[in-house]
Structure 1
Amino acid sequence: MHVTKEVLDAQAKALLEQLNDTPLRPKDRAKIPLQEMPSQAPEVRVCNMEEVALGYTENQVRLEAMRCIQCKNQPCIAGCPVSIDIPAFIAEAAKGDYGKSVEIIKESSLLPSICGRVCPQEVQCQKFCTVGKMHKDVEQSVSIGRIERFVADYAREHGLEKIPSIKPDSGRKVAVVGSGPASISAAADLRREGHTVMMFEALHKAGGVLVYGIPEFRLPKKIVEHELQNLKDMGVEIRPNYLVGKTRKIADLMEKDGFDAVFVGSGAGLPKFLGIEGENYVGVFSANEYLTRSNLMKAYAVGKSQTPLYRSKNVAVFGGGNVAMDAARTAKRLGAEEVIVVYRRTEVEMPARREEVTHAKEEGIKFLFLHAPLKITANEKGRVNGVELITCELGEPDASGRRRPVEIPGSEKIYDFDTAIIAIGNDSNPLIKATTDGIEVNRRGNFIVNEETCETTLKGVYAGGDIVLGAATVILAMGQGRRAAKAMNTYLKGLA
């Protein structure tokens, strides 16, 4: 049953009043109930593109922060890819000093409003939370990400943010390719050191996967625009509609345009397909294209956007990750009557965040587990009218540690669908490798870099994020961007 924000706030306020000025031992703190995230009612949110999770109220965030027992060994920090001082920022949130709280976060992470929304804290910082271990349930850990989101939003909305100080001009010039989370982090750290930083974005709008890949209902684009404006205020120049590898090659940037070093954060934008019959029919989309049309080009704004919208009634989404959830939930909002996520394994093996799966179910998304597609069928006009699926069972674990799906002969069946969305992952952008001599990649096309410095096999060229890791999380990409920037600063100082 859906509980309103007002009810959740009233409950938190009442409990706070009970606990006011009461000395709390660690066991007492662990007994404070986990604060539920307020959200739009399911029947309302499927009819709009507005953010689903509404954010904690101030009473809720104070209460949730009080659940932290301030462990001396601080295991949560070890689980954070950028080593945020989590106990410290939570302690300030518990006191109501949200400006100080976000200052602590920003010593390590530039994008707390974003990370607090989209990062999988349950397999990172919250996985190691002592409170969760006391309950023997990671879902009972302190809600680090939700607290992070609140204090970051509060600081932004109340004008408490500070532009980082910039060192005097170093005389060095750095190119940053791409404008996603790895590039944003690298650009900021490089600019702090006084270098001239120019960011090149292939699309007409900066933000990378944050703007084209993640739906508005999970990450409002005004937040991404705000973070990019902070970069501009620091003096970083962002050049859109500039495709490095075509508009200009890496060698041209360094040899003709005077850039002393380059950071490549061009992402994993090459969609994978199933390799089955019928994937070229009308009505088959990669999740990349489907989400980009909606997120970046706002195809959902019928009458206001020039981007055409493909009308669907029965949609099949293949995959079990967060991108599959995003595509399925977007299809529902775009007017599909029935949306089914088809996954080869069971729900237990799905890599999507539990919260996203729960939201999808609440919104009427259906799931067909232990089924795999064999071919896509079409009518005489070449438009999708069905998918042949085969039932699977789980066999022995594969290289990923998950049990491998095994097809059951004779279980094939045609299902009626008019749209198929392929959300089974992406490969790294191949353009820069194809146009740059000296950069080596692995068999998946990911750049090979020094793990400590993120330098590629081409001197002066560094890389991070999905172009190195494959499809990864925002915070992991940011961590690589910062690691690369640190090494690049050392490299630039050593130039004659």
Structure 2
Amino acid sequence: MALDIAPKRLPVPEQSAEERIKNFNDVVIGYSIEEAVAESARCLQCKNAPCIKGCPVSIDIPGFLKAIKEKDLEKSWDIISQYTNLPAVCGRVCPQEKQCEGVCTVGRIKGYEPVSIGKMERFIADWKAEHGSKVAPKVPEQTKGNVAVVGSGPSSLTVAGDLAKMGYKVTVYEALHAAGGVLMYGIPEFRLPKAIVRREIDNIKALGVKIETNVAVGRSVTIEELQSHFDAVYIATGAGTPHFMGVPGTSLNGVYSASEYLTRINLMHGYEFPKYDTPTKESEKVVVVGGGNVAMDAARSALRLGAKSVQVVYRRSLEELPARIEEYHHAVEEGVIFNWLTNPVEYVGSETGNIVGVKCIRMELGEPDASGRRRPQEIKGSEFTIEADTIIEAIGQGPNKVLLSAFQELKLNKKGYIDADPETGQADPEWVFAGGDIVTGAATVILAMGAGKKAAEAIDKYITEKKAAGK
């Protein structure tokens, strides 16, 4: 099938690998207007629009691309901003290859690549910030009710922005000193600049949303206070408690969870030492355990902090790697070494208690496990040791217990996450709604946002019906 469009997507300008490992600046430079117009012309404007169905927040992708093609960038922004409160974030960190781009009609034609939808979303959001009209958004009268949002990550920001647009007075409570949740402390600057996150948050504040930082709900604000002051509460505190493998030597100096390592860099400006007096450990030989996006973030951050050798240890093969393929390719280009089918069995320490190496064992893949991936099995007698002065475990995270332990009435599931309706986010008690990683376990930014959008509609329905009934 021959089409009158370019078969390959337009390459997106990036910093070279040699240049970018020396800084924490955005790796991807992004499209120019001319490049964006050319890439948008590759969209077929399908009537069934599978890309919309593949987007967790149902953005009108053909619509905003058509407007770019016609060089009506204000219209493109108007379209995209109806569906997402965080377009510059989504355009940078969403796994588009598994969602909108993964079902793009163009990409399903032999010899053709899908439209670069994610980079186009990023383009229009960045263009709006730099060149678009600066008209303040119209804020509806906030008279429909009061809603509290606990946490300030992507799910929280989405529900807060959507409810504000509906006419609700929304207060967001964040335990840390900066709003943004995982967007601020979990994702490195080179993949998601913090100025971008702050810009998106400022846009949500402009809708009338109030954000209070340094407030630990369950401690400085009680659950009883929330129930008495608000018509509904949305909880999206994420999954920030790190998991550890528990192998011998975990307590040695130099063994970190990826969440601690990345938080030291992101939230405490460790990458700007000595400008900020919050340095991370100076490392020469780093081993990262895990194969997800967080593992890629930790490995690539360690390189930028001066490590001479960074190796990833993953117990499965490249075929099962859960990280985005783009992040993997960037890591390889930057010099990260991957040890496939390998798993740690012991961390080796010196007499002074510092990590000096990791003892590993080779693995082979057996039958599929509950995740659908082939289960890794140890190969007896295949042990070997990798020298290391820093170990970073990136093997997943669990729910934060501060709020959950203070809220005994809140129903949890067997895994310790909030038991909430997957379609509405409503939990038990009924005035509580929840979404994002605190419900699903660690997942993606865009899935958390999708949960926030569904919950906003459900909260509006709940409060409206409750008031109509005179309750």
- TM bin (shorter chain): over 0.9
TM-score normalised to the size of structure 1?
Answer: 0.92
Q: 1:129 aligns with which of 104, 107, 113?
A: 104
Match of 2:48? 73
User: Which structure 2 residues correspond to residues 40-439 of structure 1 after superposition, within 5 A?
Assistant: 40-135=15-110, 140-160=113-133, 163-170=136-143, 172-255=145-228, 258-439=229-410
Q: CA deviation at 1:164?
A: 4.1
Q: Is the 8 A contact 1:170 1:193 kept in 2?
A: no
Q: Is the 8 A contact 1:167 1:193 kept in 2?
A: yes
Which amino acid in the other structure matches residue 462 of structure 1? F
Which secondary structure does the structure 2 equivalent of 1:324 belong to? Answer: helix
Q: Is the 8 A contact 1:433 1:440 kept in 2?
A: no
User: Which structure 2 residues correspond to residues 13-24 of structure 1 after superposition, within 5 A?
Assistant: none
Structure 2 stretches lacking a partner, 5+ long: none
- 1:189-247 deviation line (CA, Å, top 9, x unaligned): 11122222111101000000000000000011111111111122222111111111221
Q: 1:103 to 1:318 in 2, by over 3 A?
A: same
Q: Is the 8 A contact 2:137 2:206 kept in 1?
A: no
Residue 28 of structure 1 pairs with residue 4 of structure 2? yes
- Give 4+ residue runs of structure 1 displaced > 6 Å after superposition: none
Which secondary structure does the structure 1 equivalent of 2:206 belong to? Answer: helix
TM-score normalised to the size of structure 2?
Answer: 0.97
Q: 1:480 aligns with which of 451, 459, 462?
A: 451
In 1, the alpha carbon distance for the partners of 2:254 and 2:337 equals 20
Please, which moves more after superposition, 230-239 or 317-326? 230-239
In 2, the alpha carbon distance for the partners of 1:192 and 1:291 equals 33
User: Which structure 2 residues correspond to residues 443-458 of structure 1 after superposition, within 5 A?
Assistant: 443-458=414-429
- 1:395-415 deviation line (CA, Å, top 9, x unaligned): 111111111111001111122
Q: CA deviation at 1:490?
A: 1.6
* Percent identity of paired positions between Structure 1 and Structure 2: 49
Q: CA deviation at 1:161?
A: 5.8
Which secondary structure does the structure 1 equivalent of 2:8 belong to? Answer: coil
Q: CA deviation at 1:162?
A: 5.2
In 1, the alpha carbon distance for the partners of 2:144 and 2:373 equals 51
Please, which moves more after superposition, 303-312 or 201-210? 303-312
Q: CA deviation at 1:485?
A: 1.1
Which secondary structure does the structure 1 equivalent of 2:13 belong to? Answer: coil
Which secondary structure does the structure 1 equivalent of 2:270 belong to? Answer: coil
Which amino acid in the other structure matches residue 214 of structure 1? I
- 1:113-153 deviation line (CA, Å, top 9, x unaligned): 1100000000001111111100367xx11111011111111
Which amino acid in the other structure matches residue 124 of structure 1? Q
Q: Is the 8 A contact 1:325 1:357 kept in 2?
A: yes
Q: CA deviation at 1:252?
A: 2.4
Which amino acid in the other structure matches residue 367 of structure 2? E
RMSD of the alignment, in Å?
A: 1.4
In 1, the alpha carbon distance for the partners of 2:437 and 2:43 equals 33
Residue 462 of structure 1 pairs with residue 433 of structure 2? yes
- 1:330-364 deviation line (CA, Å, top 9, x unaligned): 00001100000100011111011111011101111
Which secondary structure does the structure 1 equivalent of 2:272 belong to? Answer: coil
Q: Is the 8 A contact 2:137 2:207 kept in 1?
A: yes
